[in-house]
Amino acid sequence: MPISDAELDYYHAKISLGDKARHLLGSDLGQYLLRKAQQEVDAVINAFQAVDPTDSKEIIRLQVQLKTAISVPQWLTDAIDESSMALEEYTQRKEIDRQQEKGA
């Protein structure tokens, strides 16, 4: 079955987003964001070492701050990984379509 317009739009969006994330990570801005995220992680870890273990509100605040700092680079990596998978799937689908056209 040929790839529908909706599927083609899906593949295009996924692949395009991954390309943009890849370019961002390779840019000065992307490198800056990664450095800032790592600095945030380091700062939160230092804060965890000094926090009063009975201060649950501060511990929760630090947990949220740490999760956010860790998530930003991971989201970019996820976009790149999903893009690669979409490109691979699209390529496989196109090859199946070609083979089916030859056999028809």
pLDDT digits (tens, 9 = 90+) for 29-62: 999 999 999 999 999 999 999 999 999 999 999 9
Contact 80, 22 (CB under 8 A): yes
pLDDT above 70 (res 90): yes
Amino acid at 44: V
- Cα 50-53-55 angle, rounded to 5 deg: 100
Query: What are the structure tokens assigned to 70, written together?
Result: 């860790």
CB-hemisphere CA count at 13 Å for 57?
A: 0
Domain boundaries defined on the chain: 5-103
Question: Model's pTM, two decimal places?
Answer: 0.78
